[in-house]
Amino acid sequence: MERIGFIGLGAMGKPMTQNLMKAGFACNVFTRTRSKIEDVLAAGAVWCNSPKEVAQKSDVVITNLPDTPDVEHAVAGKDGILEGARAGTLIIDMSTISPVASKNLAIQAEARGCDFLDAPVSGGDIGAQKATLTIMVGGKPAAFDRALPIFRALGKTITLMGDSGAGQITKAANQILTAINIEAVAEALVFASKAGVDPAKVREALMGGAAYSRSLEFHGQRMIDHNFKPGFRMRLHRKDLDIIMETGKAYGVSLPVTAQVRELMSATLNAGQGDMDNSSFALLLEKLSNTQIK
């Protein structure tokens, strides 16, 4: 069985590491705040002092970090994975980062004889805990096949989307859809509410029809309840839209509504909602219309 290294044991990475250990994989770990993973270490994970050390001790190294610079630093920076890796080491980045940056990391890794997969996920912390993540993978088919037993311990829908970067592009498409769909639900429910119709009734009446989305079902309910405890934080979704707009520029894609929704997200951050759930679009729309749906 492959020895696994895991770097970044946050809200997603910690339960993912625990699922890998449950599946029988030995895990070498590194994360910013050691005190947050004492239970994982007590369960047998081996602490390392750097991504380099993780790579020295492991066959496969997984990163799950907040943003593009974090992954670039962990992979290619000082005391990074590439300093500790050997020919044949498989690096899997499961963070959501820039597809362009991801392709560059793959090129650097391959120059050292390593394999590199981009494998961002969707499904949130609940999906990470229950091992039901959707995993969207970019890279070489042989590396994908090698990673499959690992992915199967973490998620359910696992798809090789294409060459290096294709996983990040697919995740970006996912984030475009969820951001816009959630904003749409906020507009529709605030509109109905201020026009005098119960938004809970509107959600219910539209659930079975053409307007259905997961966002109408789940984020719509949160809006009606004014329950904005995350869930997926607005500041992380805005970060994803930042990446998407840069990627659109790199590939020559015009994204008019994504751009506008990013600006509205920025307005929610300006209003102090960065650590609220992304369904808190409803608070912004309520303010714009000087009303409350609850």
Q: What is the dihedral of CA 4, 9, 11, 12, to 10 degrees?
A: -20
Question: Residue 22 catalytic?
Answer: no
Q: Is 255 in the site for a second copy (CB under 8 A)?
A: yes
Angle value at C-alpha 243, between 283 and 125, nearest 5 degrees: 60
Nearer to a second copy by C-beta: 49 or 291? 291
Q: Would the CA dihedral through 46, 51, 53, 57 be positive or negative?
A: positive
Provide the minimum distance between the beta carbon of 130 and a second copy in the complex, in angstroms, as a whole number: 14
Quote the CA–CA distance of 185 and 221 in Å, as a whole number: 10
Interacting positions 262-291 with a second copy (CB under 8 A): 264, 285, 288-291
CB of 147 to a second copy, least distance (A): 16
Window 61-100: residues binding a second copy (CB under 8 A) = 99
Give, as ranges, the residues between 150 and 209 that touch a second copy (CB under 8 A).
156-157, 159, 161-163, 165-166, 169-170, 172-174, 176-178, 180-181, 183-185, 187-192, 194-198, 201-202, 204-206, 208-209
CB-nearer residue toward a second copy: 35 or 254: 254
Smallest distance from the beta carbon of 13 to a second copy, in angstroms?
19
Tracing tokens 């590396």 back to the chain, one arrives at 143
Q: How far apart are alpha carbons 180 and 95 in whole angstroms?
A: 21
| 3-state secondary structure labels for all residues of 81-121 | HHHHCCCCCEEEECCCCCHHHHHHHHHHHHHCCCEEEECCE
- Pick the piece of the chain touching a second copy (CB under 8 A) from 48-56, 122-130, 140-148, 269-277: 122-130
> Does 41 interact with a second copy (rule: CB under 8 A)?
no
Q: Which residues are known catalytic residues? A: 171
